[in-house]
Structure 1
Amino acid sequence: MTDRAPAKTGLWRDIRRQFLRHKGAVFGAYLFAGIVLAVLLGPALWSIAPDALDFSARNAAPSLAHPFGTDQLGRDVLAQVLVGGRISLAVGVAAMVLSVGLGTLVGVSAGFFPRLDGPLMRLTDLFLSLPLLPLLLVIVMLFREALSAAVGTEMGIFLLVVTAIGLTSWMPVARIVRADVLSVREREFILAARASGTTRFRQITRHVLPNVLSPVVVSATLGIANAIITESALSFLSLGFPSDFPTWGRLLSDGVVYLAEFPWRVFWPGLMISLTVLSVNFMGDGLRDALDPKLRARTARL
């Protein structure tokens, strides 16, 4: 009778197993994947163009011809929701990359280099003390026309909105990463690497960053939801994309005037925003649990 060879389990396999145990995270992942596929493939599969006018069907209720109804110009709301989702998700992902990258850089620098800790944290406190929405409004109003004239309306507004959201949402990430780096910095393997003459850059990239991966990934998932909500608020206030670029927030802004008579104008884009934010939050909860080594070890013993 021979002994059975131990099962080969790696880090990513354990993370995947723990993530799949979280039913809410799995549901969120499927829901988010469905939304992404819908906005990427939907415009190609849906025969009606988002800018096609049909004045005979203005403000039509949902039907087989127009499942989400039409707007005041007879444009199909489903087509607009699908196309607008591309812009909203692109803004969310791009702004998340900028905010998480900047927050991680500030957090690691403040936590690993004691001389930079004070100045960088005071800078973080300064940004946290600024009123977010008024600051975004000022940034958009100051640079909107200049960027639109330089690179075009759509690209100019996209770059402006992404940059504004990214530069005003990195502070929580920086604080979370700094706290983890302060804890990791005094661990035995960091002290051993320092004693062996390992450069600081290699210490950070090889030992520090992998051990603060959990809060970074969770912040990244939640950052997408935060960016989509912020872009929707700017578009709702008519300071984001113009009306011919139907983001979900812009569709909400255009439909609120008709809320009493044609509530579906607001319902569908609002539902897409809610489902996207909900799915991303569920995924963030699952990733937080899956990336927690203590929880993975406790689950493996069960």
Structure 2
Amino acid sequence: MAERRVVSSGPWRDMWRQFVRHKGAVFGAGLFAVIIFAVLAGPLLWRVPPDTPDFSSLNAGPSMAHPFGTDQLGRDLLAQVLSGGRISLAVGLTAMVLSVLLGTLVGVAAGVFRRLDGPLMRLTDLFLSLPLLPLLLVIMMLFREALSSAVGTNTGIFLLIVTAIGVTSWMPVARIVRGDVLSVREREFVLAARASGTTQLRQITRHILPNILSPIVVSATLGIANAIITESALSFLGLGFPSDFPTWGRLLSDGVVYLSEFPWRVFWPGVIISLTVLSVNFMGDGLRDALDPKLRGRAAPL
């Protein structure tokens, strides 16, 4: 009788299988990859300059020469969407990294050190009680001119937007991480490490952080969508990047005035923002199911 060979599948393979069974996550990952490729390689393939006016094609509709149409100065909207996408995605990714780092630091400190738990959570509650959009508007108005004069307009606004979004969006990450840390720190392997004299820093880096990666990764993916929407809102309100530095939110803001006559001015940037946020949210759902051992055995959603 032939001996049956048992092939053990590792946790990473299980995670990958669960992820690819999630049809929405696969669709989101593919769509997000297409958007990333478009904004990175698009300007190399579509060589129309985004800032060159064409006064013979002012507010022209979609055509072979201008697939997305043109703006009030005759600039190609497709070229502006591709160029502005780099800035919008850079803001989203950088602000997400900042907010996740701050949230993880606060959550781990509150979960591990009992004396810091109360003050840090009250600080988190204080930030959660603040109205986000008015706070962002105040930050932009207070520091916009100072940073612009210090490091340049575009660099200063980029740093200000990233910092403002990052320091006002870390609170949900902190609360989620704290809850998971409180659960993990009482498990047997952490108690054994503590009893053997392992330092708290090593307990955190070796035993606690690897076991709370699931909520951190999911929060990171959803943080990208939140940062892109927030940057678009600030640019839409006129407190983001200047008009000669197009982002998706800036293009929306410039096109609102022409909405009734030239609706494609708003349609294309709005569709790109919606598809990007939708794809990131789908990926976040799939990663949540794939990284959570309790959910891996469930049937994949349709």
Q: TM-score, normalised by structure 2?
A: 0.97
Cα deviation 1:267-295 (Å, max 9, x = unaligned): 00000000000000000000000001122
Partner of 2:44: 44
Q: 2:184 is aligned with what amino acid?
A: V
Alignment correspondent of 1:266: 266
Name the SS of the counterpart of 1:258 in structure 2: coil
Which residue number in structure 1 is paired with residue 24 of structure 2?
Answer: 24
**Which residue matches 2:257?**
257
- Superposition pairs of residues 133-212 of structure 1, within 5 angstroms: 133-212=133-212
Q: Secondary structure of the residue that 2:239 maps to in structure 1?
A: coil
How far apart in 1 are the matches of 2:172 and 2:10? Answer: 31
Of 220-229 and 187-196, deviating more is 187-196
Unaligned runs of 5+ in 2: none
Count how many residue pairs are aligned between Structure 1 and Structure 2.
299
Corresponding residue number in structure 1 for 2:234: 234
Separation in structure 1 between the aligned mates of residue 154 and residue 78 of structure 2, nearest angstrom: 21
**Using the alignment, how far apart are the partners of 2:40 and 2:177 within structure 1?**
33
Q: Which amino acid aligns with 1:106?
A: V
- Give the CA deviation at 1:297: 5.0
Distance 1:39 1:214 in 2: 29
Higher mean C-alpha deviation, range 8-17 or range 177-186: 8-17
Query: Deviation of residue 298 (structure 1)?
Result: 5.9
Task: Report the 3-state secondary structure (helix = DSSP H, G, I; strand = E; otherwise coil) of the residue aligned with 1:32.
Answer: helix
Could you list the per-position Cα deviations for residues 32-63 of structure 1 after superposition, in whole angstroms to 9, with x for gaps in the alignment? 00000000000111021000110110000101
| Greater shift in the superposed pair: 184-193 or 98-107 | 184-193
Instruction: Output one character per residue of 1:78-137: Cα deviation in whole Å (capped at 9) or x when no partner.
Output: 000000000000000000000011001100110111111000000001111111111111
Tell me the percent identity. Answer: 82
Counterpart of 1:12 in structure 2 is 12
Q: Which has the larger helix fraction?
A: 1
Give the letter for the 1:24 counterpart.
Answer: G
Quick one: distance in 2 between partners of 1:120 and 1:105? 11
Distance 1:249 1:262 in 2: 17
Name the CA distance, whole Å, in 2 between partners of 1:30 and 1:98: 25
Distance 2:255 2:235 in 1: 12
Alpha-carbon distance between aligned partners in 2 of 1:31 and 1:284, rounded to the nearest angstrom = 13
Q: Once the 2 structures are TM-superposed, how far is the Cα of residue 151 of structure 1 from its aligned partner?
A: 1.2
Distance 1:2 1:110 in 2: 56
Farther-moved stretch of structure 1 (29-38 vs 4-13) = 4-13
Other-structure match for 1:282 = 282
| Deviation beyond 3 Å, 4+ runs, structure 1 | none
